[in-house]
Structure 1
Amino acid sequence: MANIDIKHYDVVVKPVITEKSTLVSEFNQVVFQVAKDATKPQIKAAVEALYGVKVLAVNTMVAKGKTKRWRGQEYRRSDVKKAVVTVADGDRIDVTTSI
């Protein structure tokens, strides 16, 4: 990992570790929270550079923030962009360990 650009860390914010995201790991997929303005080619380049894997596909989605209440006051959670990254068969990303 000698040639990692700092902008890759701005694109990939963090891995998403939920029950659903661990189920898709059977299909060589990993879910990441990414920057809201990140494009699919940027996400692909960042994951390949940070984890040293071959990315086959990137699917993105924007989860809209929910309206919540706290002490009678309403507030809205921020929107979150997620990317489902499919890696090649021989490659694997272990999100339980840090980069």
Structure 2
Amino acid sequence: MKEYRLAAWPDLGPQHRRTAYRRLLSDMSQRHVSLAELCARSGLARHEVGRFLDALSDRGLLVSRDAPRATWPLSLRPLRNWLRRSLLLSPRRA
């Protein structure tokens, strides 16, 4: 899965002067964002967001990367701490 980040703020044409597109640009100017996140945040259809990303890419205004994958093992420290606290706070059995 790819993530996208804005390299420079573009001049928007009349078809893209809507709040949804400005929200996309704002999100991409802050961090790398996936296509699914962009669709969810903007409320635009996937094909609309895809076309917008293609237009930005054609103008050299978009940086893309492969999304980092979660690696195993995940830390179980929060679970261990929670278990320790709940066992210490629960009434002890005789």
With CA pairs under 8 Å and 6+ residues apart, which has the higher RCO, 1 or 2? 2
Structure-2-length-normalised TM-score: 0.29
Higher share in strand: 1
Structure-1-length-normalised TM-score: 0.28
Higher share in helix: 2
Q: Specify the structure having the higher radius of gyration (Cα).
A: 2
